[in-house]
Structure 1
Amino acid sequence: MKTIRRLIYGEILIATGFVLLAFLSLFFFFDFVEELGSLGQPSRLDPKVIYEMRHALLYVGLLMPSRVYELLPISVLIGSVAVLARLAQSSEYTILRTSGLGPWKALRTLLGLGLLFVALTFAIGDYVAPIADKTAQLLKARYQGRISLGQTGAWLKERQTHSNFSVNVGSLSPQGELGEVRIFEFDNQGLLLSTLQADKGQIEKNNTWTLRKVVRREFETSGQTSAKIVKSVHRTFHWPSSISAEMVSVALLKPDRMRTADLYAYVQHLEANGQTAQRYEIEFWRKVFYPLSCLVMVVLALPFAYFHFRSGGITGYVFGGVMIGISFFLLNNVFGHIGNLNHWRPWLAAASPAIIYSFVSLGAFGWLVLRR
């Protein structure tokens, strides 16, 4: 059995590696072509700094771990289908069956390999890809100016004992310096107490915000109908807050590019401050279930070992396997959006595609392998 396992594992690992390399080469080319338009442009912060070819290559290279994370499950499916179909076509799998490789042993063997891919996908998606993606964004910002956090900036909310704060950060420099900071303070009844605008800022290690070139306006209510506005200008202003630099840098990454632990902490922060966390909860559960899709892929591939192939007929089955894999990932994205719009339970919206395809793959396994 060890010899059979070594044969199947080795063939599938090699085939998956080649498929993944082909996908990465294709996406590297597309990403690099997209960066060609930025070559030769001077930085907004320092006109002497030019975005060159080597910077574009390094930037695109740093995006590759995220591509590996996205493409690994479908590469596992294509590689597994190709290997099992080839073994069936050459009658090698028939020999393995007569050597004692029954359907359930084959399923356990592939599930063992699937667990290896699950661990690899989780490690890349949770440790390598977030660091590489953030480094890529900071690298690009170094040569092209600050990182814009969208048209409206990054919005965060904090609830303190006597006040609630809405914080808006417009941009973030590669050194972690905040730009265009606005802070709105409200009392517990929702009345505006003060506003603060700062050109620049920095979050210290103790989470105190050090803001520079600050204009602060305080609203002092005298009676129910009139209010006095007190304006003050500060060269430096210190604002104690529990909002850390990591929470602000969340705006650099898409939710699916964040670490699972960071995503969970961010969800807890949103819920503690009365903000909607549905989208991030769905992304958290998708991060949990996404590596497990490698198990679904290897189970989907197993029935292909029991088909009877004519000469040259393997290509159509491999193409069918590719279409199945693409449909899985399309359904995975669609369920995330539908669950967010209809307020489904986050874990259900994230797990539904994997559950559906697991039943489909097990049904195909039972009909094709056990009954026939």
Structure 2
Amino acid sequence: MNTIRRYLYGQILSAVSFVTLGFLALFFFFDLVDELRWVNQGSYHITQALMYVGLAIPSHLYELFPITVLIGTIFVMANLAQSSEFTILRTSGLGPWRALGTLLTLGLAFVLTTFAVGDYLAPAAERAGQLMKARYQGRLTTGQTGAWMKERQAYSSYAVNIARMRPDGGMQKIRIFEFDPQGHLVSMTRAETGRFNQDDSWQLENVQRSEFPNDERSSARIDQRKLPELRWPTQITAEMASAALLKPDRMRTIDLFEYIQHLDANGQSAQSYEIEFWRKVFYPLSCLVMVVLALPFAYLHFRSGGIATYVFGGVMAGISFFLLNNVFGYIGNLQNWVPWVVAAAPGLIYSLMSLAAFGWLVLRR
């Protein structure tokens, strides 16, 4: 049995690796063509473009790995069925449930690989790529107004705006609006630059602070002052600021969870981030769905040249899974569905379909 397992694993790993490299090469080419528009603007040249596109590869690997697992496994299973090798393996003791268990064991290895890439390698590479690009283009920003965040403290609430992030992790063009419990504007602080301290605070530099007294006698007065530095205590961390500037699907799971807790604590909607969090939890498990979906192809009877049709059908089924996954995310966000149900539903649906196909093609026939 160990010989059969090593043979299957070797065939599947070779096929999955080949398909993955092919897809990554294709996406590398597309990204490079798209990135050429920024080349020779300032100090951003073709070398930096190649580095930036290369650092995007782990993100593409995370997105593509389940579908490359499906394509590679379907190809191996269908090829073994066409050459009658799988029939020989069945007569050697590879029953349906043992075959399913063998593939699920390999699927667990794919799950761990997908989780490691998506939670450690891809976020680190994405941040390094963004900071490298910002180093040569001068800034990291989103939209025209930057990132907006909100925080509640003991006696005040704050609306915070960061226009840009510097390549070294600092902030530029910071605005902090302070409100009292009644919602009146108390003060407005502007800072040219700022950095994150280790003691839950920001160190602001070149500060202009305007205070608006709320008592009736001074309602028309605005107190203004300029400060070279100002320490502002806050629970907004560098990861939260990066989350507001970067895409949530590029964050680590733990950072995304902490950002959701921050949004909830400050009365902000976290629906889209909660859906993305649960998608990151369930997404690696889609590799198990893919290997179960591929197993019935080993029990089909192929005519000469008919393997391509079945492989194409399996690939379309895999693509439909990812389309359904995205559609559920958008609809769940619009309809305010339970986030973990939105994230888990596509996987559960296709798992039931895969097991139904396995039961019909394998156990009953």
In which range does the TM-score fall when normalised by the shorter chain?
over 0.9
1:346 is matched by which residue type in structure 2?
Answer: P
Specify the alignment match of 1:343 in structure 2: 336
Give the percent of matched residue pairs that are identical in Structure 1 and Structure 2. 64
Specify the alignment match of 2:226 in structure 1: 233
1:1-372 map, 5 Å: 1-42=1-42, 50-223=43-216, 226-372=219-365
Q: Secondary structure at the match of 2:345?
A: helix
Mapped to 2, the partners of 1:71 and 1:348 lie a distance apart of 23
CA contact (8 A) 1:81 1:321 kept: yes
1:162 is matched by which residue type in structure 2?
Answer: Y
1:277 is matched by which residue type in structure 2?
Answer: A
Over the aligned positions, Cα root-mean-square deviation in angstroms equals 1.3
Aligned residue pairs total 365
Mapped to 1, the partners of 2:86 and 2:22 lie a distance apart of 27
User: TM-score of the superposition, structure 2-length normalised?
Assistant: 0.98
Q: Secondary structure at the match of 1:237?
A: strand
More displaced stretch, 232-241 vs 307-316 = 232-241
Mapped to 2, the partners of 1:112 and 1:140 lie a distance apart of 40
Mapped to 1, the partners of 2:217 and 2:66 lie a distance apart of 62
Q: Secondary structure at the match of 1:147?
A: coil
Cα offset, 1:245, TM superposition:
1.4
Mapped to 2, the partners of 1:141 and 1:341 lie a distance apart of 33
CA contact (8 A) 2:146 2:245 kept: no
CA deviations on 1:335-360 (whole Å, 9 max, x unpaired) are: 01111111110000001100110111
Mapped to 2, the partners of 1:308 and 1:253 lie a distance apart of 49
Mapped to 1, the partners of 2:200 and 2:51 lie a distance apart of 32
Cα offset, 1:187, TM superposition:
1.1
* Deviation beyond 2 Å, 4+ runs, structure 1: 149-152, 222-228
CA deviations on 1:20-64 (whole Å, 9 max, x unpaired) are: 00000000000011111111111xxxxxxx212211111111010
Cα offset, 1:224, TM superposition:
9.6
User: TM-score of the superposition, structure 1-length normalised?
Assistant: 0.96
Unaligned runs of 5+ in 1: 43-49
Specify the alignment match of 1:45 in structure 2: none
CA contact (8 A) 1:198 1:214 kept: yes
Mapped to 1, the partners of 2:311 and 2:359 lie a distance apart of 20
More displaced stretch, 280-289 vs 219-228 = 219-228
2:195 is matched by which residue type in structure 1?
Answer: Q
CA contact (8 A) 1:181 1:198 kept: yes
